[in-house]
Amino acid sequence: MSEPTQTTQASKPERKKIILSGIQPTGVFTLGNYLGAIRNWAAMQEDYNCAYCIANLHAITVRQDAAKLRQQTIACYALILACGIDPKKSLTFIQSHVPTHAELSWVLSCYTQFGELSRMTQFKDKSLKHPENVNVGLFTYPDLMAADILLYQADLVPVGADQKQHLEITRDIAVRFNNLYGNVFTLPEPYIPKVGARIMSLAEPTKKMSKSDENQNAFISILDAPEVIVKKFKRAVTDSQAEVAYREGKDGINNLMTIYSSVTGDSFETIERDFAGKGYGDFKQAVGEAVAEHLRPVRENFDRLMKDKAYLEECYTEGAKKALAISARTLDKVYHKVGFVKPIR
């Protein structure tokens, strides 16, 4: 991520649009994370100024084992590089290394209404899932996510469909702040893929695929071995008909067709034609093989990167320094607007 680039002398300087997104280091990414978000992150880095963070501050809203979280944070950082994100082209950093995120989050929480946060579906879902730990961080989670986005003046936020509500509240907070203090924040738009925005569980296809699912057969981890991937797809829950067709009520098959289409680029019509007259067994085998092959470079890159911890450290340290310099500009402006005495940096 860099300053806007100058084109010709006569034309105006062209500003590349700014992208920001994040992922929690709460386990190896699933195929849902990959197809819904990370694959787009890699594709966007040529045409946009991109910033990607490992959201470890968000991760502790659910109880984590400290040693495991540390290890997973490094592994997740390696994984985003393994998925094709180039730290020379994109700003890549670990959220807790850049203190401006927590600082802006506090300010934003003073411009967010209790009622707004109470309506967040993720808060309601996670409160039900962890009734013993409905902590305040879980409640104010959207303010931290808004801070991540607004600090970098992001224009676009590539996410899966489940994050749409968090993007909407980010915009509401930004509009409220801008109405009070002038144009401080760029209003971000969600960037949600047409196919793959909501990959479903293989075991319960009406439920989102999630890395925290207790049933290992419900999700594909992007580091699963090829034979494990094929086996999990063979076990995927479908229906009692035997027609590979995208139709209402065929949640399992619709999900498998979405996945197959995302990794091969084939349209639903092409898939229906190619598998006409064939059974679900053949289709599941084909989906499994296509996914295993698609993820092969990710697995190979990951193994190589994890052997070079010094390189990873160099990348995330450099990323954090740059992220701090960029985000501090927005934070300083915010602090000035709300009436804080100029900080010494």
How does DSSP classify residue 199? P
Asked if 208 is an active-site residue, the reply is: yes
- Nearest approach, Cβ of 74 to ligand TYM (angstroms)? 16
Q: With respect to ligand TYM, which residue has the nearer C-beta, 37 or 230?
A: 37
Asked if 333 is an active-site residue, the reply is: no
Distance of CA 79 to the CA centre of its chain: 12
Q: With respect to ligand TYM, which residue has the nearer C-beta, 24 or 186?
A: 24
State phi, psi for 13 to the nearest 5 degrees.
-60, 135
Give the active site residue among 126, 232, 250, 284. 126
Rounded to an integer, what distance in angstroms lies between the CA atom of residue 261 and that of residue 165?
Answer: 26
- Nearest approach, Cβ of 27 to ligand TYM (angstroms)? 9
Asked if 337 is an active-site residue, the reply is: no
Handedness of CA 3, 4, 7, 9 (dihedral sign): negative
- Nearest approach, Cβ of 158 to ligand TYM (angstroms)? 7
DSSP 275-332: TTT--HHHHHHHHHHHHHHHHHHHHHHHHHHHT-HHHHHHHHHHHHHHHHHHHHHHHH
Q: Which residue is nearest to ligand TYM, using beta carbons?
A: 36
- Nearest approach, Cβ of 138 to ligand TYM (angstroms)? 12
Q: Which of 196, 145, 180 is nearest to 37 (CA)?
A: 196
Give the binding site for ligand TYM (CB under 6 A).
Answer: 20-24, 32-33, 36-37, 55, 58, 145, 148-149, 157, 159-160, 162-163, 197-199, 208-209
Give the active site residue among 16, 17, 164, 211. 211
The count of residues in the chain is 345
Token couple for 35: 């197809």
Q: Coil, strand or helix: which one is 54?
A: strand
- Nearest approach, Cβ of 21 to ligand TYM (angstroms)? 4
Q: Which of 47, 52, 12, 39 is nearest to 152 (CA)?
A: 52
Q: With respect to ligand TYM, which residue has the nearer C-beta, 105 or 238?
A: 105
Q: With respect to ligand TYM, which residue has the nearer C-beta, 87 or 160?
A: 160
Rounded to an integer, what distance in angstroms lies between the CA atom of residue 301 and that of residue 296?
Answer: 9
Handedness of CA 304, 305, 309, 311 (dihedral sign): positive
Q: With respect to ligand TYM, which residue has the nearer C-beta, 22 or 87?
A: 22
Enumerate the active-site residues: 126, 208, 211
